[in-house]
Amino acid sequence: MASCAIFDPRPTPYFDENGCLAVGAKAYFFAAQTNNPLTVYVDPDLTTPHAFPVVALSNGTFPPIYLPFTDYRVVIRSAQDVALYDAAVVNNPAPSSGSGGGTSPTSDQLLQTGDPIWRLRAGSMIGFVRMNGRTLGSAASGATEYAAGDAENLFGYLWNNLNDAIAPVSSGRGVSSTADWQANKTIVIPTMRGYTAAGIDDMGNTAAQSIQIITTASVINSSPTVTVASSLGLARGMSVVINGAAAGKIIDIPSSTTVTLDTNYAGSTASNLSFRASMFSDAQLVGAVGGSQSITQTAAEMPQHNHTLTDPGHTHSLNFQGGLANGVGGSATNGGTPAVGVTGSATTGVTLADAGKGLPTPIIQPGRLGTWFMKL
């Protein structure tokens, strides 16, 4: 089965606004009914992209143009940028897989802009960008991972679905993704370097509390101490979200109803506020990250335990004869009364030495490494 479609296989010469062969005419390809550029290719294996736009040859025809199976829009303009042709929707479904009939996949059955995939390979891949924390933008943007006209769809996807803390835009976000794209700004592709994928804790439902602890809290403005309904399950290092806003990290848990944050609470003194804590920056925020390679326990985090100490005791001998020689007189009973002596003070000599070195404990789960990509 073919893996792509070819545009204008005849080929057909195009004519400009003056009726002459449209030498240097430009063909723009977009997703159907949009202005979002669609990548088209020089070869049927879809490995080498055409420039955007594709420029006509000297005889007014276009070179072979191969497209992925998806509905598209094509706009043809003369070398002087006069519109010659604009088809808003060109149906381009994939053929059925066999001769016995069947259905063709629709566009929503194919990978969409922003879809992530994992591959057991290194390096770049045509039609995708690596999720490595570098930047994406237009050809004039100076983006470090991918800078080309066909990046506009993904630029808009990141701009509209992730906040500036996760996908920051160079020099700050403007009024829209389109405005920032036209201003040749760059946007950061969220990194998946070293990360595994996990589901947000609520995902349109009530929170599962699989990766976060939820309780209520009372806070005091400019104080790091937060009173919680219960500190059960909370841990040092958890990021705290109070009433929907980030409030710092837990650095101590003094009691069953108290936690200490690494920063003073910046807000009005109040009670019965929502309190969420997780090893992710926010367990209900798409794109949030968290976890750690290792952990070093403090003494307070060690389980309560006992150390067994055995002291068998000991005795000291008394030399009563020596005592009589020094003036007790008579006999050892001192006239019927037993002689009494007190030994000198003595210690057992038993000590308990410190143990352990306080080295970090690795906590990374087993895994296999590859590359995360995101569809343009």
284 and 201 Cβ atoms separated by less than 8 Å: yes
User: Which residues does 218 contact at the CB level (< 8 Å), separation at least 6?
Assistant: 226, 227, 270, 271, 272, 273
Question: What's the token pair of residue 220?
Answer: 């005091």
Q: Where are the beta strands (DSSP E) in the chain?
A: 5-7, 26-31, 54-55, 65-67, 72-77, 83-90, 116-119, 128-130, 135-137, 146-147, 186-188, 213-219, 225-228, 239-242, 245-255, 258-261, 270-278, 294-295, 361-362, 371-375
**Do you find a cis peptide bond into 11, omega within 30 degrees of 0?**
yes
Confidence band for 343, pLDDT divided at 50, 70 and 90:
low
Q: Are residues 2 and 82 in the same domain?
A: yes
Closest to 150 (Cα-Cα) out of 58, 41, 305: 41
Q: Are residues 83 and 10 in the same domain?
A: yes
Question: What's the token pair of residue 263?
Answer: 């920063």
pLDDT at position 329: 46
The residue-averaged pLDDT of 312-329 equals: 58
Q: Per-residue pLDDT tens for 169-226?
A: 999 999 999 999 999 999 999 999 999 999 999 999 999 999 999 999 999 999 999 9
- For residue 139, being part of any structural domain is answered with yes
Q: How many domains does the chain have?
A: 3
Q: Per-residue pLDDT tens for 220-265?
A: 999 999 999 999 999 999 999 999 999 999 999 999 999 999 999 9
- For residue 76, being part of any structural domain is answered with yes
Q: Are residues 126 and 94 in the same domain?
A: no
Q: What is d(CA 278, CA 281) in angstroms, rounded to the nearest whole number?
A: 7
Q: Is the pLDDT of residue 363 over 70?
A: yes
Q: Are residues 144 and 71 in the same domain?
A: no
- For residue 182, being part of any structural domain is answered with yes
pLDDT at position 342: 60
145 and 130 Cβ atoms separated by less than 8 Å: yes
Give the DSSP per-residue string, 178-209: HHHHHTT-EEEPPP-TTPPP---SSTTSS---
DSSP assignment, residue 168? Answer: P
Q: Is the pLDDT of residue 292 over 80?
A: yes
Q: What is d(CA 93, CA 72) in angstroms, rounded to the nearest whole number?
A: 10
Q: Are residues 6 and 34 in the same domain?
A: yes
- Three-state DSSP class for 213? strand
- For residue 177, being part of any structural domain is answered with yes
Q: Which residues of 21-46 are buried (b: 16+ CB within 10 A; e: fewer)?
A: bbbebbbbbbbbeeebbbbbbbeeeb
pLDDT at position 106: 64
Q: Are residues 86 and 133 in the same domain?
A: no
**Residue 292 CB-density burial (10 A; 0-12 exposed, 13-18 middle, 19+ buried):** exposed
> How far apart, in Å, are the Cα atoms of 204 and each of 16, 284, 347?
53, 10, 68
Listed ranges 41-55, 311-325, 340-354; the one with the highest mean pLDDT: 41-55
Q: What is d(CA 88, CA 82) in angstroms, rounded to the nearest whole number?
A: 17
Q: Which of 227, 246, 278 is the last residue of a domain?
A: 278
Q: Is the pLDDT of residue 98 over 80?
A: no
CATH number, position 227: 2.40.30.180
Q: Is the pLDDT of residue 159 over 90?
A: yes
Q: Which residues of 117-139 are buried (b: 16+ CB within 10 A; e: fewer)?
A: eeeeeeeeeeebbbbbeebbbbe
What domain range is 153 assigned to?
116-188
Q: Is the pLDDT of residue 340 over 50?
A: yes
Q: What is d(CA 235, CA 277) in angstroms, rounded to the nearest whole number?
A: 9
Q: Which of 260, 278, 296 is the last residue of a domain?
A: 278
Q: Is the pLDDT of residue 268 over 50?
A: yes
7 and 65 Cβ atoms separated by less than 8 Å: yes
pLDDT at position 338: 59
Q: What is d(CA 355, CA 305) in angstroms, rounded to the nearest whole number?
A: 14
- For residue 338, being part of any structural domain is answered with no
What does residue 66 show for φ and ψ, rounded to 5 degrees?
A: -105, 135
Q: Is the pLDDT of residue 330 over 50?
A: no
- For residue 370, being part of any structural domain is answered with no
Q: Per-residue pLDDT tens for 40-81?
A: 999 998 999 999 999 999 999 999 999 999 999 999 999 999
Q: Are residues 240 and 152 in the same domain?
A: no
Q: Are residues 2 and 87 in the same domain?
A: yes
pLDDT at position 299: 81
Q: What is d(CA 174, CA 280) in angstroms, rounded to the nearest whole number?
A: 28
Q: Are residues 11 and 32 in the same domain?
A: yes
CA atoms within a 13 Å half-sphere pointing along the CA-CB vector of 7:
31
- For residue 170, being part of any structural domain is answered with yes
pLDDT at position 94: 80
> How far apart, in Å, are the Cα atoms of 189 and each of 35, 217, 270, 375?
22, 36, 38, 11
- For residue 49, being part of any structural domain is answered with yes
Q: Which of 103, 135, 156 is the last residue of a domain?
A: 103
User: Which residues does 103 contact at the CB level (< 8 Å), separation at least 6?
Assistant: 96
pLDDT at position 328: 47
Q: Are residues 6 and 57 in the same domain?
A: yes
Question: What's the token pair of residue 94?
Answer: 């994939």
Q: Are residues 158 and 227 in the same domain?
A: no
CATH number, position 98: 2.170.14.10
pLDDT at position 293: 86
- Three-state DSSP class for 16? coil
Q: Are residues 28 and 55 in the same domain?
A: yes
pLDDT at position 361: 81
pLDDT at position 307: 80
The residue-averaged pLDDT of 88-98 equals: 80
